[in-house]
């Protein structure tokens, strides 16, 4: 982590340090953690997950986001909050600026006064690099291209030329999703298949790869396709409202053959959600294909209207689960083969490859990152990749595995089972001691094991107020401190949920 004076901060530096230097990267990480805790996971994920610190100079912190819509929303609704939170960590911060970063690569935090590095090249370049991503609009029918300027921007988010069905590695965890995606992309008959097709998975498990694969295959078949991220959809709709071209925008959006929408969990705002619901309904009713991806199933999209959630769940819902070892080995082998084609001298023994595949279990992106690191080591040092160097290169990837995502529903089911009550009892208005205690324990575990806010937890417990949840959390905390037996009981429940 670079400081303003160009020195390097150690991992255990703790953020602030002596000698007049400030570790802005660590301070910004703490700011984001505070925002997540104060605003709740849904709000944070929607507006702050992709907010990055670019530079600090003269008391001004420059932050960047990927879209103009996010920039406008944060400036209108959260700028003061971000400033006050940052100022609490670094007193010298007096002003916040929000900019839009380019689409080529995510912004990386850099210190004030330190030049940003140029694009990666050689061994550090992105794997499978090809020509620039191809915007869908560039291959749309001529009539569509002529109308590109009418009714708002509907060019869509560019498709990545590397993310095709041919480059997708299939395993037990994603075979059903891949089969459904191929069937939808190649369907030539009347109507649509599995409408909508809804894919959900955690980070780096391949859902976006499949969406791009669908887009490429359908486009090659001559179908009118638009691929949109949630940010792009929201920006296009808001911009159409501002330019008084909303009607034309909606008509063009509903006039396509295939709509692909990624990261639907980020769609916010009642009017935008309503328009999203109308668009989905109009396309499905007209027999047009809709493909949607999210990080959670439709039933857990709490920010969306219930009718929209119901419509999204009415088609084929497929989860891409965690990568098993066999699939991780296949993905790693494919990555290594691609690198060897460009760097013939690069070699990784089967023992090292097996170790990496077993050690990195979180997602495919971490596997790609591991290959990049091994390649950098071999190329920059001129030495062979050994087990020892591999362990050193991927140490932080192993250490920073994503913890298991625990669902409130799972907590409720486990607690109900342990205390011989039903889940419906926990969600009910019953106030008998046999129900109140497990209900409060379930609320307490929901608070400490998930990132849900108190109001969100209250809604998941039969629509209760957040003050009820707060009372339950405080009461169980107090009882755990006074009753060792209860403390052991709660710890056991935690371990059962985390394993």
Cβ proximity of 127 and 339 under 8 Å: yes
3-class SS string, 196-264: CEEEEECCCCCHHHHHHHHHHHHHHCCCCEEEEEHHHHHHHHHHHHHCCCHHHHHHHHCCCCEEEEECH
Distance between CA atoms of residues 88 and 278, nearest Å: 43
Distances (CA, A) of 430 to 267, 339, 416, 422, 426: 36, 62, 14, 12, 8
CATH of domain 325-399: 1.10.8.60
List the beta bridge partners of residue 229: 262
Q: What CATH class does 24-100 carry? A: alpha beta
Cβ proximity of 373 and 170 under 8 Å: no
Q: Is 204 within any annotated ligand binding site?
A: yes
SS3 (DSSP) at 34: helix
Asked whether this chain's domains 165-319 and 408-496 adopt the same fold, the reply is no
Distance between CA atoms of residues 37 and 453, nearest Å: 8
Who's near 17: CB < 8 A, 6+ residues apart? 9, 23
Distance between CA atoms of residues 428 and 74, nearest Å: 38
Q: Which CATH superfamily is domain 165-319 in?
A: P-loop containing nucleotide triphosphate hydrolases (3.40.50.300)
Over the Cα atoms of the chain, what is R_g?
A: 25
Distance between CA atoms of residues 68 and 79, nearest Å: 15
pLDDT of residue 102: 59
Q: Is 208 within any annotated ligand binding site?
A: yes
Q: Is 206 within any annotated ligand binding site?
A: yes
Q: Is 58 within any annotated ligand binding site?
A: no
Nearest to 489 by CA among 449, 430, 442: 442
- Does CATH place domain 408-496 in 1.10.1750.10? yes
Provide the residue ranges of all domains of the chain, joining segments of one domain with +.
24-100, 165-319, 325-399, 408-496
Sheet containing 197-201, strands listed edge to edge, beginning at the edge strand earlier in sequence: 225-229, 258-262, 289-294, 197-201, 316-320
Kindly report the pTM of this predicted structure.
0.54
Distances (CA, A) of 427 to 103, 307, 458: 45, 22, 10
pLDDT of residue 153: 41
**pLDDT by residue, tens only, the chain of 499 residues:** 333 333 333 333 434 434 456 788 888 988 998 888 787 776 777 788 889 998 898 889 999 988 777 787 788 788 888 998 999 888 899 999 998 875 433 333 333 333 333 333 333 333 333 333 333 333 333 333 333 333 334 456 788 888 999 989 898 889 999 999 999 998 877 777 788 999 998 888 899 999 999 999 999 988 888 898 888 888 777 777 777 777 777 777 777 889 999 988 888 777 788 888 888 888 888 888 999 999 889 888 877 788 888 889 988 999 998 888 888 888 888 888 888 888 887 888 888 888 888 888 777 888 888 888 888 888 787 778 888 878 887 877 775 555 567 899 999 999 998 898 999 999 999 889 899 999 999 999 999 898 888 888 999 999 999 999 999 999 999 998 888 888 888 988 988 887 6
């Amino acid at each position: 982590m670079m400081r303003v004076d160009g020195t390097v901060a150690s991992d255990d530096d703790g953020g602030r340090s002596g000698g007049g230097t400030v570790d802005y990267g660590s301070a910004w990480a703490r700011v984001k953690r505070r925002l997540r805790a104060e605003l709740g996971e849904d709000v944070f994920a929607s507006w702050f997950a992709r907010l990055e610190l670019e530079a600090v100079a003269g008391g001004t912190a420059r932050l960047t986001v990927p879209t103009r819509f996010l920039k406008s929303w944060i400036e209108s609704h959260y700028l003061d909050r971000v400033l006050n939170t940052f100022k609490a960590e670094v007193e010298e911060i007096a002003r916040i600026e929000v900019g839009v970063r380019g689409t080529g690569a995510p912004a990386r935090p850099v210190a004030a006064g330190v030049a940003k590095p140029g694009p990666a090249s050689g061994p550090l370049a992105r794997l499978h690099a090809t020509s620039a991503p191809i915007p869908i609009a560039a291959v749309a029918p001529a009539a569509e291209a002529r109308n590109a300027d009418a009714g708002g921007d509907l060019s869509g988010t560019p498709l990545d030329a590397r993310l095709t069905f041919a480059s997708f590695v299939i395993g037990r965890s994603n075979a059903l999703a891949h089969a459904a995606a191929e069937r939808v992309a190649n369907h030539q008959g009347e109507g649509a298949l599995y409408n909508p097709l809804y894919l959900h998975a955690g980070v780096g498990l391949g859902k976006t790869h499949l969406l791009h694969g669908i887009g490429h295959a359908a486009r090659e078949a001559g179908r009118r396709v638009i691929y949109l991220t949630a940010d792009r959809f929201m920006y296009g709709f808001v911009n159409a409202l501002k330019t008084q071209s909303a009607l034309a925008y909606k008509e063009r959006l509903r006039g396509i053959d295939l709509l692909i929408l990624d990261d639907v969990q980020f769609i916010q705002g009642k009017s935008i959600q309503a328009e999203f619901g109308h668009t989905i309904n109009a396309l499905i009713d007209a027999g047009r294909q809709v493909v949607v991806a999210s990080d959670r199933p439709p039933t857990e999209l709490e920010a969306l209207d219930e009718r929209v959630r119901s419509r999204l769940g009415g088609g084929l819902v497929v989860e891409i689960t965690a990568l098993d070892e066999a699939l991780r080995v296949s993905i790693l082998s494919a990555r290594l083969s691609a690198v060897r084609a460009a760097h013939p001298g690069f070699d990784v023994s089967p023992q090292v490859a097996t170790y990496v595949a077993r050690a990195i279990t979180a997602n495919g992106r971490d596997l790609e990152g591991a290959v990049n690191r091994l390649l950098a080591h071999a190329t920059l040092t001129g030495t062979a990749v050994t087990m020892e160097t591999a362990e050193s290169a991927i140490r932080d990837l192993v250490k920073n595995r994503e913890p298991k995502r625990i669902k409130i529903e799972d907590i409720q089911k486990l607690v109900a089972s342990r205390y011989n009550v039903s889940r419906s009892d926990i969600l009910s208005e019953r106030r008998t001691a046999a129900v109140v205690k497990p209900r409060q324990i379930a609320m307490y575990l929901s608070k400490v094991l998930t990132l849900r806010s108190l109001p969100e937890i209250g809604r998941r417990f039969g629509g209760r107020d957040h003050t009820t949840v707060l009372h339950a959390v405080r009461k169980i905390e107090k009882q755990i401190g006074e009753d060792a037996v209860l403390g052991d009981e709660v710890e056991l429940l935690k371990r059962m949920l985390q394993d």
